[in-house]
A and B are shown apart, each in its own frame.
Chain A
Amino acid sequence: MSAWRAGWRKVAEKARPRLRRPPLLVLPAAGWFLWFLLAPLAIIFVYSFASKGVYGGVVMKFSLSNYVRSADLIYLHIFWNSIKLATLTAASCLLIGYPMAYVMATASARMRAFLLVMVVVPFWTNFVVRAYAVKVLLGEQGPVNALLASFGLISEPVVFANTAFAVWLGMVTNYLPFMVLPLYVSLEKFDFSLLEAARDLGASPVKVLFKVLVPLTKPGIVTGLVFTFTPALGEFVIPDLLGGAKTMLVGNLITEQFLKTRDWPFGSALSLLLILTVTGSLVLYLRMEARRQKAEEGA
């Protein structure tokens, strides 16, 4: 069935008219991307080798000083903070999201549709609002403190605000859909009879999980990790609102260069380093995706 479908798709693909030049219809989009996406990104590259003028302008004289400066211990430490937070977020999302995706993939069609909507709805709500909701929940007069007090567990309100826990909660609830959706797509196509086969052959549940389920849903896991890790790396608004900006992150540092110190060249260099990290994980992701498609078409 699926082989037939893949074959049919290939025929349809071949039947598509092959044009010598890009059609007129793509020109507006291509022009727009060129002018408002690629040119601005190129500016980051160019400015990162310039230097800051006396009054905050950009002096176009080639130098590597911004990159040398970004290797300073202070800035390396800030990069490290961001990597730690992004890793913790991605790992937490995987641990929470994998069982969720498994439940969704094995649920009845009705339940599955319901769960999908439940996962996607917060994805569409404003993330400033969601961060604020976490602040309300954990506030000194918030419901968690009220509940603890009513059970007589605490006499003084517990200060959750501006703690690592508040930041963790805000980050995880924000990025969870990015993890669950690709995992769900992977698990939805998974042939669950393989689990049974492995069990029949005497594999323990743990072995089934790590030798069958995880390897076969690896594309979903990698996609999920890329989609949570990369945006989390540049994130600073959630830590800012929930953590009281106690730890400096790459996002704060970059924003400061643009809105406070007006050192655009240094900010550009930092942004380029961020882009390089993101591109690195994107290349990894695209490779996996290409391999998956090849395997699918061969099936």
Chain B
Amino acid sequence: MSGAAWGRPRPKAPVAAKAMTAFAFLLIYVPLAALVVYSFLGPSNGPGTPDAGTLVWYEKVFSNTQILGSLYASLWVGLWSTVGATVIGTAAALALERTRFPGRGVLEGIVHVPLIMPEIVLGLSMLMWFVLLRITLGYFSIILAHITFSVSYVIITVKARLHGFDDSLEEAARDLGASPWQVFWRVTFPLIWPGVLSGALMAFTLSFDDFLITFFTAGVGSDTLPLKIYSMIKFGVSREINALSTLMLVFTFALVMFFFRPSKGVKTVT
């Protein structure tokens, strides 16, 4: 980050700190590993005998139409909220990072509200607002709610990537007679699109994973995948949940790996 700190010699971390780090990673990853391993184990034949390896839970997941329906719903909601949040957020990030105008500070502050406000408050405030506006609770209201918190993350991500953007390139294009539209699509967008992609991926992941805000704004009968998993856990534990959770883990891991893929010369935004 700051260039100066890099060159300085760094001491080795004490063994106790390393042990604590290892312990923390155990706390984080052992439960996830247990979840995955148990998704491949069938019920044992009585106490004392080890569980047998099986794919039966995965077969159950893929033949459960309710689960597939909620997966479809999650993807649909994720897609539309990502499109909405990315367009709105990118436009705002461009203006916020590159111009100064009255109210800029206020808007910067508001951008951070969804990050710091407890999710439960965001969820129930939107529930009351939607009911007041007579917007039927369902997938549409979920998408509106998801766009609201995703826009903030898109703005922050795209802004971070815009930092250090060379304005003179656009100036050169304008001087050479390009229209504003041409400048945007031929010069600006190709330069900022990695940031836009990062923002879009983040918006999708957040939407796909969101539980609490969806919980409040979903109404009756519309289940996204996290809501479905929650109710499955509430109504009894079956290893079908392990299989489904494992699939979700794999999907999110793949997204994150793509997000954090080693890229030379481009700063990774966390």
Which residues from chain A sit less than 8 Å from chain B, CB to CB? 1-2, 5, 15-23, 25-26, 28-30, 32-33, 36-41, 43-44, 47, 96-97, 99-100, 102-107, 113, 115-118, 120-122, 124-130, 132-137, 139, 142-143, 169, 172-173, 176, 181, 185, 188-193, 195-196, 226, 230-231, 233-234, 236-237, 241, 251, 254-255, 258, 264, 267-268, 271, 274-275, 278, 282
A102 and B95 contact, CB distance less than 8 A: no
A17–B92 Cα distance when bound, in Å, is 15
Minimal Cβ-Cβ distance residue in B for A21: B101
Taking CB atoms, residues of chain A closer than 8 Å to B20 are 96, 99-100
Minimal Cβ-Cβ distance residue in B for A267: B124
Minimal Cβ-Cβ distance residue in A for B5: A189
Taking CB atoms, residues of chain A closer than 8 Å to B31 are 130, 133-134, 136-137, 169, 173
Taking CB atoms, residues of chain A closer than 8 Å to B256 are 117, 120-121, 124
A33 to chain B, nearest CB (A): 5
A33 and B4 contact, CB distance less than 8 A: no
A230 and B148 contact, CB distance less than 8 A: no
On whether A125 and B209 interact (CB within 8 A), knowing A36-B144, A185-B1, the answer reads yes
B226 and A126 contact, CB distance less than 8 A: yes
Partner of A136 from B16, B29, B34, B147 at Cβ < 8 Å: B34
A125–B257 Cα distance when bound, in Å, is 12
B3 and A32 contact, CB distance less than 8 A: no
Partner of A192 from B9, B113, B144, B167 at Cβ < 8 Å: B9
Partner of A188 from B5, B9, B30, B89 at Cβ < 8 Å: B5
Taking CB atoms, residues of chain A closer than 8 Å to B155 are 29
Q: Which of A18, A21, A32, A192 has the most CB atoms of chain B within a 10 A radius of its CB?
A: A32
Q: List 20 A-B contacts (CB under 8 A).
A: A16-B98, A19-B99, A21-B101, A22-B103, A26-B107, A37-B148, A40-B126, A47-B128, A100-B21, A126-B226, A135-B233, A185-B1, A195-B11, A196-B11, A231-B119, A234-B119, A234-B121, A254-B120, A255-B120, A278-B121
B100 and A37 contact, CB distance less than 8 A: no
Residue B142 at the chain A interface, CB threshold 8 Å: no
A109 to chain B, nearest CB (A): 9
B18 to chain A, nearest CB (A): 6
Partner of A29 from B1, B2, B88 at Cβ < 8 Å: B88
Residue B169 at the chain A interface, CB threshold 8 Å: no
15 further interface pairs, Cβ-Cβ under 8 Å (given A33-B148, A37-B113, A236-B120):
A16-B98, A22-B103, A26-B92, A30-B103, A43-B125, A100-B20, A122-B28, A132-B245, A136-B34, A143-B38, A176-B28, A185-B1, A231-B118, A255-B120, A258-B124
Q: Which of A17, A125, A135, A231 has the most CB atoms of chain B within a 10 A radius of its CB?
A: A125
Minimal Cβ-Cβ distance residue in B for A194: B8
Taking CB atoms, residues of chain B closer than 8 Å to A96 are 20, 23-24, 27
Partner of B100 from A16, A33, A139, A251 at Cβ < 8 Å: A16
On whether A5 and B3 interact (CB within 8 A), knowing A33-B110, A38-B110, A264-B128, the answer reads yes
A116–B121 Cα distance when bound, in Å, is 30
B113-163 at interface with A (beta carbon < 8 Å): 113-114, 116-122, 124-129, 132, 144-145, 147-148, 151, 155
A130 and B32 contact, CB distance less than 8 A: yes
Minimal Cβ-Cβ distance residue in B for A199: B11
A30–B113 Cα distance when bound, in Å, is 13
On whether A271 and B27 interact (CB within 8 A), knowing A21-B101, A126-B252, the answer reads no
A33–B152 Cα distance when bound, in Å, is 9
Residue B176 at the chain A interface, CB threshold 8 Å: no
B158 to chain A, nearest CB (A): 11
On whether A258 and B107 interact (CB within 8 A), knowing A32-B88, A271-B124, the answer reads no
A251 and B99 contact, CB distance less than 8 A: no
A173–B98 Cα distance when bound, in Å, is 38
Partner of B17 from A99, A135, A185 at Cβ < 8 Å: A99
A254–B25 Cα distance when bound, in Å, is 33
On whether A271 and B209 interact (CB within 8 A), knowing A22-B103, A173-B27, the answer reads no
Q: Which of A40, A169, A176, A233 has the most CB atoms of chain B within a 10 A radius of its CB?
A: A40
Taking CB atoms, residues of chain A closer than 8 Å to B144 are 36
B235-251 at interface with A (beta carbon < 8 Å): 237, 241-242, 245, 248-249
On whether A189 and B2 interact (CB within 8 A), knowing A130-B32, A136-B31, the answer reads yes
Residue B189 at the chain A interface, CB threshold 8 Å: no
